[in-house]
Structure 1
């Protein structure tokens, strides 16, 4: 029997199409008074769709479960016995349609998650040994633990592994919480999804394939299909008792009134189809729609909790900030500013430090071309010679007959260059340039807010004006406060270790317990893992680590904070649709039963209204399933 049921499940869409053709023929027969065509059409529809219905009911009974399929099966068989062929056929067809619509919704969810895997590297450069540079490009899924992969500057690391050759700088703010790229050399660990900003590495793979960060996303959403909200759990429990009660009611009506048609009508109208279908379809459609937008929710209960959240706790680096150092202020101390920037860009172009790239991009000097409508064009870099690198301090070089030093305060102190009177921010990193023994230029460098952070927080606040924002950071208190000084954060706590963040979230949850509040923590790294696991809803940036993504309840695959605002508002919409569907379903059943016993509703009209209610709740939920548009 199981093989036959698998056959029916595999070809359910084709069978529904066949049923629809025969149903159309039956309707044509009814209209044209061709009785044999009408009867044959309805019976064919009933047999094609009813066989699977009956088998499901029998299978459930084996486990002592009185399912909704049993109720429908008895009603359909009874309708056939008393000659109500149209009722039997239409009931079966509508239930088959609802089943297919649910499957299509799930298919869209899976398809959207597959699209998200394009965010991860699809190929890798495989080499035979650490010293080899003769690489072969292969599918990343073909890499096995122990293989060597070549990672070039600017590329994403495709596996978790250990550096076997080369050196460079890897942007892994999502892992360590540190905004400055990490130096990688022999025996250093690297992680999938991080970016090699400078250098060349050969990595020995340790974790590959589906175990990498983005390879798990499809599995996460499929698992979400099996999760339930408390509303769904209530409905499932309700159905276990409701179905036997309706069967008993139908039997009693048949015995008392001796009206078999009335008894069967009770069974047909008593089927809680819209109630059973309405909540899971809303859940599946909602999760699918969020996936189109790059938001992976790991369960229906997550949406429920997020919809009731009013306290949002944020990590700083890589969450509300870019995680990448940027020049935020410059001070021209001595000499012409354009020429100083030209000297600075020329010197930093000789460095392989990650900060150098950011500085060169920022300092790239311009000159006006009088013959080209005064347009600004890049000035050429000046020739550089005698470059010396001072690890942890900076560099020196001869540029255009000038002795140039670029680095931090320690470098200038060691060369007896005065810089103390220069007022620079206490919460920023400093890069100073001295020309011919005199301080000429200074930069302040900091980890800046993501572009969409202010707008995202404002959108959340508009959704719930009582929302509370809190920042927890491992950075110094002054640095953390400076980053969010222009944002509406009620509390800012710095100098925190991972265990401190977890304890803080746990304490807040305990103080709010029983008051209807839900706490959300948003982070991206291993250091955020304990706090993500402790919060009512843990939300991880997609650029984060396996640990953060696995522990979290929601993953923002594009690592954009605007996705958090979208997820928050959308969770409320999904719950609203869920409650609407419950109300529609319960109201329909109550009104139909009342109408039946007062004489206003009969089998044909009642069945029509009942099945229309199923289509209404499905259509209400399917509003979420729209054309792919991940930016909305």
Structure 2
């Protein structure tokens, strides 16, 4: 009963229409059929007036109100005395809006699930040795460094690192991975993960506002609030559709001399499919994307994905894993390997480049002491200069280091390796060689995009051309632009003529080019990075194949949205022709139009794509290892 009252409060016009319909039937059976003119006709004109006000508001915002046909049909049926048809059109108009609301909520359930599961409470441990000595506090009050207890089946409140020896977490809401993920001590844990069957302790590394889950929630809220261009396209279909319907209705009236024909044609021309099908399809597409670990910032992005003709890849962290390993250290005369590595790692402490972490990790693994400095500066995409223990240390590309150390020479490299160079007080100190693993499914992803119609593939990278061409050959990319600075990448994307263009990247230096691309895709669950903020699509799971999945979802969504629109238009046109010849009475026509609405809604709900995702998962490409490749600064 409470659900019934909630539905009445949510949809008062639908409830009023049903009540009046039942009362009208009772009056007709009691011999008071004349009262239907006042009851149905008056209520119909009241609803028409409300709809007209809404239509005017739409027109003020530049959107043609497709309710015009419904309003005209209500007025026409009242004027010709078809009051039962009037109440049925009112039911169709108000019920269609209610059905749209219900269907959209059904399609949004994966998005809403993220919002409703936001962690609220954290358990802070007062003592690491006593798991019973805890205090509950709001998740928003947790500070980095706090030791937290996560009980079985609880949601991790903030990002942290695991302090327990091991634990299993359900990360399906974050990454799409359906199986529990095993984590060991020291590994990162994402907020929003669900703990397994044993209590675990984590050390907070971020506040709730800066944690992964809250970033996802922010992206979801932005995505769900947008309106897609194809919805506006559906609005534009209403202009010719309205003109055709009114012309056909007027022609039927003129040729037969029967004004009832005008009303009968308009009854079956009510354009509810245009109002309903496209928004439902787009919400279904965004819901499907979220279920696959892909946050799409608006329906317009899905449309651009569906029409894309070119895809551009960054290399480091995108085609490769972005976690380089130090292969060897090559000291110059007068220096030893540990000294070169220690100085480079000390300077790289002040660099934001991903390669810096690998140099530092290698130095620490060898037990080398890192020096601190009060003066350090980084030249993006080139290197870093730091003063360490009275010496000026320069680390970076060969061309950058050679400016201060002309004696610097290129290191001998195998295919796909990269060297960073070190100079001390203007003297060449040596080089450090690193390599990065190519993603096992990179080649298969490029092939899958080709099958989806995106055959123009480009790589933009800061690597030297030999390294870039080596990687491109492995994955099947033929168009390579190497030695790119961030501004070169931006100009490279702008110069592409086969559009729309998708840009896939993951680093902070990719943010500008992601912003200028028609669709920017940020790879990996990295939280509030500049890349994810600039991107139109954020892939939460670190899986390159989700790029092709995003394109497939966009294409499926647009196809279903337009298909639903045309199904509604085609069925309505057929019914209008029959009604013009007097074969469909107004009351029957109103009932048939309800079936048209139902058909378009059911078709649009296919955009949620459960069966399609199951088929894609069944045909997914297994990940395998490829030869090592290089990482560009």
TM-score (normalised: structure 1): 0.60
Distance 1:294 1:54, change over 3 A: farther
Query: Alpha-carbon deviation of 1:55?
Result: 1.6
Are the aligned partners of 2:511 and 2:531 in contact in 1 as well (CA < 8 Å)?
yes
1:461 maps to what in 2?
Answer: 450
Residue of 214, 217, 223 corresponding to 2:216:
214
Equivalence map 1:562-577=2 (5 Å): 562-577=545-560
Cα displacement (A) at 1:579: 2.7
Indicate the larger mover: 51-60 or 550-559: 51-60
- Which residue of 2 is the match for residue 332 of structure 1? none
How do 1:84-99 and structure 2 match up within 5 A?
84-99=82-97
Deviation at 1:216, TM superposition (A): 1.2
Partner of residue 259, structure 1: 258
Deviations 1:462-503 (CA, angstroms, capped at 9, x unpaired) = 222x61222222344444444454221113344322222112
Residue of structure 2 in register with 1:471 after alignment: 459
Match of 2:110 in 1: 112
Q: CA contact under 8 A between 2:158 and 2:211: conserved in structure 1?
A: no
Say whether residues 1:60 and 2:55 are aligned partners: yes
1:289 alignment partner in structure 2: 288
For the residues of structure 2 that align with 1:214 and 1:34, how far apart are their CA atoms? Answer: 58
5+ long unaligned stretches in structure 2? 1-5, 127-132, 149-154, 161-187, 194-201, 329-355, 372-411, 420-431, 618-633
Counterpart of 1:302 in structure 2 is: 301
> Are 1:558 and 2:548 matched, yes or no?
no
Aligned residues: 478
In the alignment, the residues of structure 2 paired with residue 485 and residue 10 of structure 1 have an alpha-carbon distance, to the nearest angstrom, of: 62
Give the secondary-structure state (helix, strand or coil) at the position aligned to 1:540. strand
Deviation of 1:81 after TM superposition, in Å, equals 6.2
After the TM superposition, which of the residue ranges 565-574 and 60-69 deviates more from structure 2? 60-69
- Give the deviation of 1:321 after TM superposition: 2.5
Q: Which whole-Å deviations, capped at 9, do the CAs of 1:184-223 have from their partners, x for residues lacking one? A: xxxxxx9x98x9xxxx998786964899532312222123
SS in 1 for 2:263: helix
- Cross-structure match for 2:490: 502
1:241 and 1:49 mapped to 2: Cα distance? 26
Q: Pairwise CA RMSD of aligned residues? A: 5.3
Cα pair distance change 1:355/1:256, threshold 3 Å: closer
Query: Residues 140, 495 of structure 1: CA spacing in aligned structure 2 closer, same or farther, 3 A cutoff?
Result: farther
2:517 aligns with one of 532, 535, 539: 535
Residues 265 and 602, structure 1, Cα contact 8 Å, conserved in 2: yes
- Taking the aligned partners of 1:315 and 1:142, their CA distance within structure 2 comes to 38
Looking at structure 2, the residues matched to 42 and 616 of structure 1 have their Cα atoms a distance apart, in angstroms, of: 31
- 1:26-84 Cα offsets, whole Å, 9 max, x none, are 99x99xx9687999999999999986564232343477678343532442355356554
Structure (1/2) with the larger strand percentage: 1
Q: Which position in structure 2 is the counterpart of 1:447?
A: 436
Residues 86-235 of structure 1 mapped to structure 2, 5 A cutoff: 86-116=84-114, 138-142=137-141, 149-150=145-146, 158=158, 208=210, 213-224=215-226, 226-229=227-230, 232-235=231-234
Task: Give the secondary structure class of the aligned counterpart of 2:102.
Answer: helix
- Relative to structure 1, the CA distance from residue 426 to residue 51 in structure 2 (aligned partners, 3 Å threshold; closer, same or farther) is same
| Partner SS state of residue 489, structure 1 | coil
Q: Distance in 1 between matches of 2:261 and 2:562?
A: 31
The 1:156–1:582 alpha-carbon spacing in structure 2 relative to 1, beyond 3 Å, is closer
Pairwise mapping of residues 222-371 of structure 1 onto structure 2 (< 5 A)?
Answer: 222-224=224-226, 226-229=227-230, 232-239=231-238, 243=242, 259-325=258-324
Q: How far apart in 1 are the matches of 2:435 and 2:119?
A: 29
2:536 and 2:220 map into 1 onto residues whose CA distance is 14
Distance 1:39 1:94, change over 3 A: farther
* Contact preservation (8 Å) 2:325, 2:436: yes
Contact 1:140 1:209 in 2 (8 A): no
- Conserved 8 A contact 1:542-1:549: no
Change (3 A) 1:135 1:426: farther
Instruction: Please give the alpha-carbon distance, in whole angstroms, between the structure 1 residues aligned to 2:573 and 2:100.
Output: 25
Q: Distance in 2 between matches of 1:328 and 1:45?
A: 83
Match of 1:178 in 2: none
